[in-house]
Amino acid sequence: MIDLALFRDAVASEWTKLRTVRSTYWTIVVAILLGIGLGCAISAGNAHDYHSMSFHDRLEFDPTAFSTAGLFFAQLALGVFAILAMTSEYSTGTIRTTMAAIPQRGYTLAAKALLVTAISLVLAIGIAFGAFFICQQIFAHYHLAVSIHAPGVLRAVIGAALYIGGIALFATGLATIIRHTAGAITTLVALVFILPSVSQLLPHAWKVDFARYLPANAGGAITQVVYTNNDSLRPWPGFIVFMIWCVGTAAIGWYLLRTRDV
């Protein structure tokens, strides 16, 4: 039976922790700068080069993807935000006080996961739409802009934000499993940045059977409007695979948090 009053207390406690540390605000600022700033830089560069591109490259030209490309880097800032929400308590030893105050450890993890995911999702929605509309002004100068109402565009913009929300949950699970800031960040970078790049070097059959099911590859499918890789999953099936990764990682963290010493 869920004790709603206790869960509300856990949420209130975790909210106080998040809003009273400077790292929360720094990671949010960095995420905004990366999400919008890099999106504008990438869009401007590709828009400028469009008329010198080959016919094949023009067919794969995706103004929506370029607009939201900065979120690919902003995910690291928000992933670090989620990791710090958990691992900072282990590094300072305050996790013992937290568990003493709320012996039902699952409530603490659920409260942290809810808050960091919600904050990341709301922030990512603002970044995604802000980057899209700002970048479309850049593309409009070159007569390359797309409308938010064009097929697949609204889904891709919202999907980029949903992906970031999932990354926050995924990072929270990793932090709970590893319990060490550097280790959790290294693992997140390896899984989200390095492994997808390395997977492109695999034989084609391995890409189909393995690479497209990696968290970043599966989750990133929802942000595509122009499909440049026939081996990738379709948008919503890919997002479902991604959420299985996120929920599964959080579930492992929940189990370990309940069964091992702090």
Domain residue extents for the chain: 4-259
Per-residue pLDDT, 98: 87
Query: What's the pTM?
Result: 0.92
Per-residue pLDDT, 230: 67
Contact 192, 218 (CB under 8 A): no
Number of H helices, E strands in the chain: 14, 0
Contact 195, 108 (CB under 8 A): no
Instruction: Give the DSSP per-residue string, 159-170.
Output: HHHHHHHHHHHH
pLDDT digit string (tens) for the chain, length 262 residues:
678 888 999 999 999 999 999 989 999 999 999 999 999 999 999 999 998 998 888 888 999 999 999 999 999 999 999 999 999 998 888 888 888 888 888 899 999 999 999 999 999 999 999 999 999 999 999 999 999 999 999 999 999 999 999 999 999 999 999 999 999 999 999 999 998 888 777 776 766 678 889 999 999 999 988 876 667 888 999 999 999 999 999 999 999 998 887 6
Contact 155, 236 (CB under 8 A): no
Per-residue pLDDT, 262: 63
CA dist 231 → 73, 205, 206, 238, 240 (Å): 23, 9, 10, 12, 17
Contact 111, 11 (CB under 8 A): yes
